[in-house]
Amino acid sequence: MIEFPPGLILVLGALLVPVLRGKLRAAWMLALPVVGFVLIYMLPEGNLIPVPAFGQELELLRVDRLSRVFGYIFMIASLLGVIYALHVRAAGEQAASLVYAGAAIGAVFAGDLVTLFVYWELTAIASVFLILARRTPEARAAAMRYLIVQVGSGVLLLAGLIVRWHETGSIAFDNIGLDGAGGLLIFIAFGIKCAFPLLHNWLPDSYSQATVTGTVILSAFTTKLAVYTLARGYAGTEELIWIGVIMAVFPMFYAVIENDLRRVLAYSLNIQLGFMVVGVGIGTELALNGAAAHAFTHIIYKALLFMAVGAVMHRTGTALASELGGLYKSMPWTAVFCIVGAASIAAVPLFGGFASKSLILSAAAKEGYTGAWLALVFASAGALIYVGLKVPIFAFFARGPSKPVKEAPANMLVAMAAAAILSIVIGVFPSALYNQLPHPVSYTLYTESHVLSQLQLLLFSALAFTVAMRLGLYPAMLRATNLDTDWFYRRLARRFMETAYALGSGSYGRFRAIATRRIERFVFQLYRHHGPQGVLARTWPTGSMVLWVAILLAGYLLLYFTDIF
């Protein structure tokens, strides 16, 4: 039995990517996640690689059902990403994607906070290259904003780790809670990567600026790693329920008005994270199973949607809804795969999203969180409006300026087909996923009432979308940048800095003028007294100097004899 951290297979394997060429590089990259998946399957449960350090025990490989299910889906996502990017020739981008995926997998199997921190920061550093690889000014700016946020999350995690070590004397990564300052700092660090409300703007900002293939990879790991860490450290924390509700509802309005389809998908990703966070907050076995299952299915169908939009962008050069339309004739297979992804995110029965969302909704209803349940039902219905219908229609079926183009490259189609098949298989045979979840599942998905209620919800959502489009009530797709919480630093903070600079420049000018005048006056006085014509620079006659010496001597003698007598 080989007991080796699965994530390191990808990280170390990435070192050979720049050396290999052509088909050999492709074969090597395809083999890495396959070998990693097999290794995860073969690993026994337990703390397999304990390492004494710092007076503590590092757990480099902690295997249980929760880490295993996330390890499975991360390896699958890595394989799909490799297939989708086989046409890419940039070795740096390919290596970065492997390191990024491997670091996320390593973090999933970390049993202590120190090991988690190392992998946590590695994900941030590796993933930023997927944005920089696009090589545009907008991408570079977004990459810097992304890096600041991600490294900031790591700094908070390190601070929380140190404080918690001081508070409890332990660095174990188990249930943490919000009782101490260390737990709160770690909670915020996890929340940043999970795109909590007011901390989420990095998500649409950066994902929409990454490369076509980089966005697919980015969609799979960072935020779902954060969901895993919350499930591991904060299961049952009730505050997460209402945080998740806000996440599931608030970004919907931005997804509706957004013109850039990659930003639409980024906002919808944020919404689906809300479902997972609610499940973690409820904390029951059913809810945690729902959070893990939804993370699993969401990685697949959201990658599928990003692949479809990425293929469109690869062929047309744009992802703006206002510049697309009518592509179903030129890219029929991509259109079909996009519809499968849209059906999954809308939780249509027989598709993956239905199998996972249902667990969370059932858990919320069972535990009496009626408000949260209603909000999630509203968000689930909205998914058909802001993604399920919007993305396929505007990209493939609406009348638009798009010209006939070629179908997506073969490797892209293979990756999309694999993701689509997985979504359908999970939807048709949900037990295949349920059997891998952290806790035993005794849940019947396909009941008559459940299926009918879901179909009714979808029907009314489709009707609302159709009426809004017919009456011109649906927001027009405009070439614009919609700011949400990033308004505070992209507009308000910028204006503050500009105003501060203007005021500072004026004050500095006045200070400089006053200082210059005083220095000039000092130099003038100095020159007046010590210059060639100054009083102190004049030549005194010898007789005058003798007279002054005699006067000073007489004064001194007078004072001396006065003291004696």
Q: What is the pLDDT of residues 452-489, one digit of tens each?
A: 999 998 998 888 888 888 887 777 676 767 776 666 76
Q: What is the spatial distance between Cα 423 and Cα 40, in angstroms, rounded to a whole number?
A: 22
Looking at residue 279, what is its pLDDT? 96
Domain boundaries, the chain: 1-234, 238-480, 490-564
What digits encode the pLDDT tens for the residues 536-564?
Answer: 566 666 666 677 777 888 887 777 776 65
Find the distance separating the first CA and the last CA of the chain, reported in whole Å.
111
Let me know: does 75 contact 42? Beta carbons within 8 Å.
no
The alpha carbon of residue 337 and the mean position of all alpha carbons in its chain are separated, in whole angstroms, by 25
pLDDT over threshold 80, residue 178: yes
What is the reported pLDDT for 533? 63
Q: How far apart are CA 369 and CA 364, in angstroms?
A: 5
Cβ atoms 114, 58 nearer than 8 A: yes
Q: What is the pLDDT of residues 30-68, one digit of tens each?
A: 999 999 999 999 999 999 998 988 788 899 999 999 999
**CA 330 to CA 332: how far, in whole Å?**
6
Residue 171, strand partner residues: none
**Percentage, residues of the chain above pLDDT 70:** 92
- Per-residue pLDDT at 418 exceeds 60: yes
Contact between residue 217 and residue 101 where contact means Cβ atoms under 8 Å apart: yes
Render pLDDT for 224-278 as a digit per residue (tens, 0 to 9): 999 999 999 999 999 999 999 999 998 888 888 888 999 999 999 999 999 999 9
Closest CA to 222 of 279, 139, 302: 302
pLDDT for residue 543 = 66
**At residue 565, does pLDDT exceed 60?**
no
Q: What are phi and psi of 111, to 5 degrees?
A: -100, 0
Mean pLDDT of 144-154: 93
Q: Are 251 and 214 in contact (CB under 8 A)?
A: no
For 291-316, the pLDDT digits (tens) are 999 999 999 999 999 999 999 999 99
Round the average pLDDT of the chain to a whole number and report it: 89
Contact at 8 Å (CB) between 319 and 260? yes
Task: Give the pLDDT score at 240.
Answer: 96
- HSE value, Cβ hemisphere, 13 Å, CA-based, for 98: 32
pLDDT reported for residue 477: 72
Residue 237 near residue 164, CB atoms below 8 Å: no
Of the CA atoms within 13 Å of residue 491, those in its CB half-sphere come to: 8
Contact 29, 21 (CB under 8 A): no
472 touches 326 (CB < 8 A)? no
pLDDT at 200: 86
Q: Is 260 strand, coil or helix?
A: strand
